Structure 1
Amino acid sequence: MAPKRERTTRANPDPTRTTTATEPMTQEAINNLIAQRVTEALAKYETQRNSVVNGDTSHTTRTGPRKVRPTRECTYKDYLNYDPLKFEGTE
């Protein structure tokens, strides 16, 4: 059986991972990262926006649009045809 690895915590960091930067980020580097992320987010938004079918975004899936039945009026007669619960007494 292999020996158990010691759990990595803040008090006991993993020595193979280095997360501290040797020098702070410059404002230009930060602006470049922000611009890159904004560009990626806009591209993702555009692809999702262009995948809209017939202007209806509520019923689209990855595999294509889902068929939706049109709504119709439900009359009292229709309601009674579905055999609602019958109550006995005053409750």
Structure 2
Amino acid sequence: MAPKRARTTRANPDLTRATTATEPMSQEAINNLIAQRVAKAIAEYETQRNSVVNEDMSNTTGTGPRIKDYLNCRPLKFNGTEGVI
């Protein structure tokens, strides 16, 4: 029978398998990393915002349903002073 492996616990950590960095990052390095990520995110946002999703440009503002389209559906006429509250 094969020998059992020793279990690693918080009380008994395995120091041979270190996964943390040996040197901490400086504040300047952290700020540079954040600035790079923010610049990249803004560039991606601008690209997506300015791109045309559909060829007929139906994703642009101001192309919603008009009152004529609404009236073509023949909505029910409402008579009275009470309504949905």
Shorter-chain-normalised TM-score: which range?
Answer: 0.3 to 0.5
Query: Computing the radius of gyration over CA atoms, which structure comes out larger, 1 or 2?
Result: 2
Higher RCO by CA contacts (8 Å cutoff, separation 6 or greater):
1
TM-score relative to the length of structure 1 = 0.43
TM-score relative to the length of structure 2 = 0.45
